[in-house]
Amino acid sequence: MSMDAENSNIVVIGGVACGPKAASRARRRDPHANITLIERGKELSYAGCGLPYYVGGAVSDISNLRKTTFDVIRDEQYFRSVKNIDVQLQTEAVNINRANRTIAARSIATGIIKEILYDQLVLAMGSTPFIPPIEGISQKGVYCLHVPEDAVQIREKIEKGEADRAVIIGAGLIGLELVESFFNHAVDVTVLELADAVLPSCLDPDMAEFLKNEVVREGVEIYTGQRIIRIDMEDGTARVVTQDRSFPADMVIVAAGNRPNVGLAREAGLRIGETGAISVNLRMQTSDPNIYAGGDCVECCDLVSGRMIYAPLGSTANKHGRIIGDNITGGCEEFGGVVGTMIFKVLNLTVAKTGLTEQDARACGFRVATSLTPCLDHVHFYPGGKFLMIKIIAEQESGRFLGAQIIGPGDAAKRVDVLAAALQNQMTLRDIANLDLGYSPPYSHAMECVIQAANHARNRIDGLAHVMNADQVQQKLLQEDLLLLDVREQKEAESNPIFCEAVKNIPLTSLRYRLDEIPKNKPIVCCCAQGTRSYEACLILQANHFDSVYYLDGGLRIWRSFFRDKKECYS
């Protein structure tokens, strides 16, 4: 690389998301800097989050993941001609000499090592898939989905008709996204997860169980609590062996999460954070002020809990890159942190989460109140409304909003974004309930879904009614005499019954006139389709001196999902 003594020398290591963004932003701010971008892979600046959609066929050509909005591929020539950035592909940084401000870069093709001088260095080295220590996991026929080449190999195998059955190891975000990819090709899918629930780092057990059963209903096999012992391979067919059974497969996908690439930073003596990722300050500087880092190799501050977390997302990586590009060219931008927002699609469902889960909030020392709110994504009288289940987590004393999870075929995207903004601005449930959100029958409710959910949680905090979740009701049914009071209309109850001896149907519309049919000597749990009528029923019973009255949190939709295999409690 030719050097100009008057110009700054900027070297960026990593060419997928954060690195190209940092280099591009730096060029926009400084037209004269010498900028070098080093990437160990064959391709750069691709949308890694689009890989499952290429496998599934929604993205027809893998090169589309590297194209600009004006249909030009972001390759080396593009970065040189448009941005005047020197791109060196298949080149690996092997050493950082902080004293001399140089890096040693080795060509993967030739093995030749050269030194490159930097004034400002950017580490955007991303992450690496975690490969569990399972016997046979390195055999041919076992794949990861991390780079475009992986996606091409998986899709080619499917299109050749060589993969009728697939086993996915890991029920995290990538694993569940791949479920849809295989479904699109009529490949039978089995998902194996070590934890006791799907998406264990993102969802609480109640929402995870709801999601699992909604996906299983579509024909996917999901087994949680599965410790994989080995993978046997014979004549191109795999057999994934767990502690209690085995699963045949033509293809095995490992989707067990990622780990930050920190080896180069650690060897250079840079500070590694408590999460195992690189520690950076608000300006994205490492412990060496001349070295910046961003993307999937760094840790972030969780703005809700104040803890440092590892949250590898393309959206965060691009924000990091822009801030770094500013700061290495004289700017003074800061990145405060994240609230842990994620969203993805699996089959006909959207799964979204922001903030703390209930489990995380309790682990952080919060006394929490929660609510489950089933709803349609727009008013019932306008056709085409789709279902959503919204879980809200808040602080009991203050009503401070702490987090939310949303699952369903409805429009979860705009709801989770509203709630993410509420978290970032430290809003309470009362603040959310008073948001001035758009209302029109094709799009929303007069009391928007997130407002309904916030008010539902406020009722819990204010003690206006008491709830039991599905698991608590099941335990009560086993331990004591309990009445399930079904307050749906008689036609609803008859067409979609609950097979349980403890059920009695008295519609809400006639409840006030039939109170003498309800015993006062046993706990009563009111239930209905979505929870609204059962809440009303609770208030009526409480006003008439029924002492032990509750309503089913989340309504019968979550009840039926939670006890899908329990015939006595599910129609």
Catalytic residue list: 49
* Beta strands 524-527 and 549-552, pairing class: parallel
The sheet that has 349-355: what strands, in order across it? 342-346, 349-355, 401-408, 387-395, 368-376
**At CA 511, angle to CA 463 and CA 530, rounded to 5?**
60
Alpha-carbon distance of 569 to 375, in angstroms, equals: 22
Q: Among 122, 36, 111, which residue's Cα sits nearest to residue 76?
A: 36
Q: Among 526, 207, 204, which residue's Cα sits nearest to residue 368?
A: 204
Q: Is 389 helix (H, G, I), strand (E, B) or coil?
A: strand
Alpha-carbon distance of 273 to 278, in angstroms, equals: 6
Q: Is 410 helix (H, G, I), strand (E, B) or coil?
A: coil
**At CA 30, angle to CA 25 and CA 31, rounded to 5?**
105
- Locate 375 and state its tokens: 């709803």
Q: Among 35, 118, 33, which residue's Cα sits nearest to residue 79?
A: 35
**H/E stretch holding 159:** helix 148-159
The sheet that has 34-39: what strands, in order across it? 86-89, 34-39, 9-13, 120-123, 291-293
- Locate 532 and state its tokens: 């609204």
Number of alpha carbons in the 13 Å side-chain half-sphere of residue 297: 30
At which residue do the structure tokens 């979505």 appear? 530
**3-state SS string over 51-117?**
HHHHHHCCCCCHHHHHECCCCCECCHHHHHHHHCCEEEECEEEEEEECCCCEEEEEECCCCCEEEEE
Assess contact for 359 and 388: CB atoms under 8 A. Answer: no
Alpha-carbon distance of 416 to 476, in angstroms, equals: 33
Assess contact for 462 and 373: CB atoms under 8 A. Answer: no
At which residue do the structure tokens 């209309």 appear? 489
At which residue do the structure tokens 């140089």 appear? 102
Assess contact for 526 and 487: CB atoms under 8 A. Answer: yes
Alpha-carbon distance of 368 to 395, in angstroms, equals: 5
Alpha-carbon distance of 344 to 174, in angstroms, equals: 9
User: In 481-531, which residue ranges form alpha helices assigned H by DSSP?
Assistant: 490-495, 508-511
